Amino acid sequence: MPARFSEAKTDTIPIRLIAPADVPDAFADLTEAQRSWIDHMGFAAKPGQVLSLADASGRPALALIGLGKPEVRKRTRFAVGAAIAQLPADTYRIDALPEDVSGDEVGLGYLLSCYRFDRYRNQPRVKAGLVAPPQTNAARLEQIAEAEALTRDLINTPAEDMGPDALEAAMRDLAGRFGAEVTATEGEALIGANLPLIHTVGRAATRAPRLLDMTWGNSGPTLTLVGKGVCFDTGGLNLKPGASMGLMKKDMGGAATVLGLAQMIMSAALPLRLRVLIPAVENNVAGNAFRPGDILTARNGLTVEINNTDAEGRLVLADALALASETPPDLMISMATLTGAARVAVGPDLAPFYTDDDPLAAALAMAASNVADPVWRMPFHTPYESMIEPGIADLDNAPKGGFAGSITAALFLRRFVKDTPRYAHFDIYGWQPSAAPGRPKGGVGQGARSVFEALPEVLNL
């Protein structure tokens, strides 16, 4: 069930948010028994610290949640919302927010903390209900949290149950909810449709490769989202070691994230025309698998030398981006779990993005700060273009040397984007390696909320 805020009631329990500097003055209006309990429990207003207080009859009367020092608070997103989710079963409200605390972040942090992946095992639910914090758009936050849950569910589902066919079913289900249209080009039909790289990467798998194409909206500016849908990546003939293959169910994290973003857009009924393209494949091993040294021709006619079959994501995205460029949108965004180099550069928490458009980059950076969805601009460094030019073909899918791997991958993708006024590429991780407030270990959306927040400014909606 989607996470929801509780309805306001007369018997809701108030929450008081406390900064360390406010202790003990913030407790002056409490009873002596309550102050003694606070001292006994050692409540010091540390980030996310929780303490429930009772009245003289023993009934719940107040919940205290620590904010932590400002310099510490900056290090942890969603700590307050996650703390609320830990409270005992009851319904709670926040009557007033400190000036430096965002009601949206508190509310969204609570909703995101309610997420449970329970497809294969029952998981304990959050028992504490929360009335939407002051100065928040409750419906909007619920829509965002529900869309993020879709992204997480798709990434968390193992490849046995989330192959290209299941990813197509997920897109069709989403389209059915919002009146969007979906077409799928599958298997050998990809050759006739001039989508050769998608076909070549996915042809060794038992589940047929396909290009999924969803459209929604009939007026307004045009937005195209392209998401990498590699539902499992063995590495192909350049087989990954077992330790590297263990997380490859998340290699469709780009597709999952753009579907979550699409749900945000359609839920909010943004006045735009949306297109979502997902090349959905498995990179597998069989007698017909593509090989190192092969030279492939992409949809737009560029030839690509294959120097590593484990650099397959950029190949399937290339055809999708070339297709998208044939009807250039006002804004195109690609998202992919594309390179380990991005993780080396910025770690698992930041979503690096590439764009040549300074105003677009500024809008994304501002939006990221506003919605606690960190992104970081990386350079389309043109002097590195020579690194992706092997000489025997137009492009190299895996330049030797290992330098600037995320940048060269982004440059590779840019070769397939033509006549599009604005383009950004996100090289995301799509995975939370250890639990954090509002983000359990597992699949996670990155960059989608920043894009969603920036769209009204970027597209003049």
DSSP per-residue letters across 68-96: --HHHHTT-TTHHHHHHTTSPSEEEEES-
Torsion of CA 431, 435, 441, 444, to 10 degrees: -40
CA distances from 243 to 193, 230, 247, 265, 280 (A): 37, 18, 8, 37, 23
> 53 has which bridge partners?
62
CA distances from 68 to 27, 79, 128, 304, 411 (A): 16, 10, 22, 53, 42
DSSP label at residue 248: G
Would you say the C-alpha torsion 140, 145, 148, 149 has a positive or negative sign? negative
Give the active site residues: 240, 314
Q: In what order do the strands lie in the sheet with 50-54?
A: 50-54, 60-66, 13-18, 90-94, 128-130
CB atoms within 10 A of CB 157: 22
CA atoms within 13 A on the CB side of 311: 26
**Residue 307 tokens, joined:** 């120097």
DSSP reduced 3-state for 414: helix
| Residue entry with tokens 């620590």 | 66
